[in-house]
Amino acid sequence: MLELATAMVFLVVAGGTAWAGLRAGAWRARGVRRLAPAEARHSDPLPSPALLWRELVSRIGSFIPAPEKDLPRLKRRLVRAGYRHPNAARYFQGIRLVATLLFALAALAWTWKSGNMLVGTASAGALGYIAPMQFVLMRIRHRQHAIARGLPNALDLMVVCVEAGLGIDQTTLQVAKELQSAYPEICGEFTVMNLELRAGIRRADALHNLAERTGVDDVRKLVAVLVQTDRFGTSIAQSLRGHADYLRTMARQRAEERASKLAVKLVFPIFFCVLPSLFVVTIGPVMTHLVRDLVPMIENM
């Protein structure tokens, strides 16, 4: 019996050792494959639809570029909307022309047998020409609202970083890393500002570029505070804390202002939507009883 138990223990230990050795070899081979340089993938002979679309609008935009006097304003709007590609203006012009043609052709096909074919085609073409710019303006408003919403929290974190001993450059970089998932818009602007500082641009110029890229009044005020602090040598932490309190006070006042306007704005929906249904529910049964009781009396008179 003792010999059988010894043999079983020997077999179990030998099998476990062999299995561990085989698994270790497999793990080693998997690690070597993971650390090895990736093999060059064969390119797809057919380009992607996105690449074809980008090439199409780029060529169309290069044929019909934006006017020289409107080009700086167009680039500024595209940057504020989050499109920082060097050829963003060319892509925009191409998309605008393609949208104009598509809308006009769709309206032409829709009104082919009707009498107002010219008016419908012209209206649809004008709508296709205006739609891309309206989309860009909508993106600008959405992005500016997101930046204004995340600025107070970013300032609070900047105060913590400055009080911990970091400079303003390292502070903005740390804020951009920590708040990337919560407020990506303002973190992206801080990252661009840090890249400009690394490229050798003066801090005041980088801050002014930040205010110009965003177009948000709160960011302009923050830039003015930072520039004055850097010029006169005052406490950065105290200035940032005071500006953060100011932004929160202004946000609370704007919320109170919208709340005070709510009663006036609800007058028309209540008058035209709620009161008619209320009158029907309350006065309807009474009028029904009156008509049912009074009509026979009038007929008998």
Instruction: Look at residue 40 in the predicted model and tell me its pLDDT.
Output: 46
Pair 68, 98: CB distance under 8 Å: no
Instruction: Look at residue 42 in the predicted model and tell me its pLDDT.
Output: 47
Q: How far apart are CA 279 and CA 281, in angstroms?
A: 5
Q: Is the model's pTM score more than 0.85?
A: no
Assigned CATH class of 144-261: mainly alpha
- Which tokens hold the place of 179? 């708040």
Pair 174, 166: CB distance under 8 Å: yes
Sequence spans of domains, the chain: 49-140, 144-261
Mean pLDDT by 10 residues, the chain (301 residues): 58 66 63 57 56 72 74 90 88 88 87 76 89 93 92 88 86 89 90 90 90 90 87 83 86 88 84 82 80 74 64
Instruction: Look at residue 135 in the predicted model and tell me its pLDDT.
Output: 94
Instruction: Look at residue 24 in the predicted model and tell me its pLDDT.
Output: 63
Chain-centroid distance of CA 48 in Å reads 25
Q: How far apart are CA 104 and CA 112, in angstroms?
A: 12
Q: How far apart are CA 132 and CA 254, in angstroms?
A: 31
Chain-centroid distance of CA 188 in Å reads 11
Instruction: Look at residue 9 in the predicted model and tell me its pLDDT.
Output: 60
Q: Which strand (E) or helix (H) includes residue 61?
A: helix 49-63
Instruction: Look at residue 41 in the predicted model and tell me its pLDDT.
Output: 46
Instruction: Look at residue 266 in the predicted model and tell me its pLDDT.
Output: 84
